[in-house]
């Protein structure tokens, strides 16, 4: 073992204490001498003073922990200093134990026995140690400085936690500066996810981007939630296909909660040990930021959604309807809205209680969300009313969807504490030239009232008189065909 102290009397006292352990003891009067000795000798344990000239005990411990050739050496720091800062440094230097010198007689030997229990001697497995003491100190300090700067830059991304897409872009932009792999993928969970941000600097099939995502291991069902930035770099080659090679993934977490992953992929010359360490460093620093992002999303979602059903609330649905109307007119596509109302809902509350009524609304919200397409919008308009916005659809197809939706809701399982079954009435309206969002909803509402007046459990279309069943059957073939072409969720 190695005893390091710039005081001969203290070294002598420590050596005298350790002689009872029958150890081969070497002494060093400074941190520089201790590092020089490691070039020619193998040590299993170092006991060092914390305060020395030039290289201190803290710095010496940091060098040992940062040098692969010495990282496994057991290290004990001793201090006589009462200064709070010195004790803080001692506790956080990476040592296996930190002892006050006044406690050395009582605690040093038990600490050594506990640390060395079960350790194998390093004589038979000593890694090669290279470089002068100054070079090794410089390398370790440079390594730590790099880590501090990277972690500082990651923390600066706190400015972007209000927007998931922008946050993902900024994370991968920073990662791309310190990681030499051609493909970087950030996956985030949370209420706003799962989502993927991809930064591709190698060959990317822009004509078939899904092929590139598949090569990165992104599930097909998640392709719609993938955001790709292609920043071609000649040093990674060219061609239409994503290159294979090594990959490395690190979890982003806060304590035991997994928030996402940071993954790098690349050819055989990429994903070097320094790259992999940088991935781990960034992923570790991202935990608190990603948690903050999720909390922001949660707050935003609470402002946009109905607390009971989790659907968009009326205010946000009105905003989305305005946006969808503008998009439909810009792209010359169809748009319809359906106002759905639970029949005899007051009687359900009166007979089974409000808890049962709430459960009915939650089950209807779940069925609506599962049935409509991904680009359709479902909201709780108020009370027992739900508004569905069908984008890019013609009236005939929307009517067939509404009829099927009515049937599906009638078969929604409701549990044992409410009615055996329910029915809904639906009013359907189509966007026409000059129609505003308010007037479109009003038309759907009037059609709903007509459905209620005509016996409930039916669909009525705004601006139409009652159609015969034969007329509905005549509409159905072409409407079915159009609806089947629309990708369902």
Q: Which two tokens stand for residue 153?
A: 């830059």
Torsion of CA 459, 428, 400, 406, to 10 degrees: -50
CATH 3.30.70.270 in the chain is located at 314-484
Query: Is-contact 114 99, C-beta < 8 A?
Result: no
Per residue of the chain (489 residues), what is the pLDDT tens digit? 899 999 898 889 888 888 887 778 999 999 889 888 887 788 889 999 988 887 888 888 888 887 777 788 899 998 876 667 777 777 778 888 888 888 888 888 998 888 888 777 765 444 555 667 677 777 777 777 788 888 899 999 999 999 999 999 999 999 999 998 899 999 999 877 789 999 998 888 877 767 788 878 887 777 778 888 888 888 887 776 666 678 899 999 999 999 999 999 886 566 788 888 899 999 999 999 999 999 998 888 888 889 899 899 999 999 999 999 999 999 999 999 999 999 999 999 999 999 999 999 999 999 999 888 888 999 999 999 999 999 999 999 999 999 999 998 888 777 777 788 899 999 999 999 999 999 999 999 999 999 999 999 999 999 875 453 444 444 444 444 444 433 333
CATH 3.30.450 in the chain is located at 149-302
CA atoms lying within 13 Å on the CB side of residue 161: 21
The CATH classification of domain 314-484, taken from the options 3.40.50.1390, 3.30.420.40, 3.30.70.270, 2.60.40.420: 3.30.70.270
CATH 3.40.50.2300 in the chain is located at 2-130
Q: Which of 291, 254, 245, 295 is nearest to 272 (CA)?
A: 245
Q: What is the largest CA-CA distance in the chain?
A: 108
Q: Which two tokens stand for residue 390?
A: 């069908």
DSSP characters over 39-51: TT---SEEEEES-
Q: Which of 324, 320, 325 is nearest to 379 (CA)?
A: 320
> For the domain 2-130, what is the CATH code?
3.40.50.2300
CA–CA separation, 193 and 171 (whole Å): 16
CA–CA separation, 459 and 447 (whole Å): 8
E strand or H helix that includes residue 288: helix 273-304
CA–CA separation, 215 and 339 (whole Å): 43
CA–CA separation, 163 and 107 (whole Å): 53
The CATH classification of domain 149-302, taken from the options 1.10.3470, 3.30.450, 1.10.1060, 3.40.50: 3.30.450
**What phi and psi, each to the nearest 5 degrees, are found at residue 392?**
50, 55
Query: Is-contact 122 44, C-beta < 8 A?
Result: yes
Q: Give the length of the chain.
A: 489
The structure's pTM equals 0.62
Q: Could you tell me which residues come within 8 angstroms of residue 334 by beta carbon, excluding any fewer than 6 positions away?
A: 328, 392, 393, 394, 395, 398, 430, 431
């Amino acid at each position: 073992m190695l005893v390091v102290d710039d005081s001969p009397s203290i070294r002598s006292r420590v050596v005298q204490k350790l002689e009872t352990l029958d150890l081969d003891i070497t002494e060093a009067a400074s941190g520089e001498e201790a590092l020089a000795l490691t070039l020619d000798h193998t040590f299993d344990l170092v006991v060092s003073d914390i305060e020395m000239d030039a290289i201190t005990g803290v710095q010496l411990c940091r060098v040992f922990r940062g040098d692969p050739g010495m990282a496994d050496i057991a290290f004990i720091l001793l201090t006589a200093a009462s200064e709070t800062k010195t004790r803080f440094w001692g506790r956080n230097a990476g040592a296996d134990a930190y002892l006050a010198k006044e406690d050395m007689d009582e605690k040093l030997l038990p600490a050594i026995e506990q640390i060395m229990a079960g350790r194998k001697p390093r004589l038979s497995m000593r890694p090669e140690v290279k470089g002068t003491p100054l070079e090794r100190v410089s390398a370790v300090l440079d390594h730590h400085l790099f880590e501090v700067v990277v972690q500082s830059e990651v923390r600066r991304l706190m400015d972007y936690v209000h927007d998931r897409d922008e946050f993902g872009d900024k994370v991968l932009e920073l990662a791309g500066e310190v990681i030499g792999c051609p493909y970087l993928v950030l996956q985030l969970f949370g209420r706003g996810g799962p989502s993927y941000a991809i930064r591709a600097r190698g060959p990317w099939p822009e004509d078939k981007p899904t092929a590139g995502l598949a090569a990165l291991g992104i599930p097909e069902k998640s392709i719609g939630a993938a955001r790709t930035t292609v920043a071609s770099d000649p040093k990674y080659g060219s061609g239409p296909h994503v290159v294979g090679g090594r990959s490395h993934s690190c979890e982003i977490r806060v304590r035991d909660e997994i928030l996402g992953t940071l993954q790098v992929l690349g050819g055989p010359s990429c994903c070097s040990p320094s790259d992999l360490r940088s991935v781990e460093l960034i992923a570790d620093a991202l935990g608190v930021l990603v948690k903050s992002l999720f909390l922001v999303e949660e707050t935003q979602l609470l402002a946009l959604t109905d607390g009971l059903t989790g659907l968009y609330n009326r205010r946000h649905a009105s905003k989305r309807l305005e946006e969808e109307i503008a998009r439909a007119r810009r792209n010359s596509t169809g748009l319809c809205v359906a106002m759905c109302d639970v029949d005899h809902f007051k009687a359900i509350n009166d007979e089974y209680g409000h808890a049962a009524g709430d459960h009915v609304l939650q089950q209807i919200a779940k069925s609506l969300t599962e049935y409509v397409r991904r680009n359709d919008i479902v909201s709780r308009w108020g009370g027992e009313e739900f508004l569905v916005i069908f984008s890019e659809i013609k009236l005939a197809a929307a009517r067939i969807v509404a009829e099927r939706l009515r049937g599906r809701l009638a078969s929604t399982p409701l549990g044992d504490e409410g009615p055996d079954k329910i029915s809904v009435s639906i009013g359907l309206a189509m966007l026409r030239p000059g129609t505003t969002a308010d007037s479109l909803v009003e038309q759907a509402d009037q059609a709903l009232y007509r459905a209620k007046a005509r016996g409930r459990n039916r669909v009525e279309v705004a601006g139409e008189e009652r159609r015969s069943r034969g007329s509905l059957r005549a509409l159905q073939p072409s409407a079915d065909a159009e609806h089947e072409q629309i990708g369902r969720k």
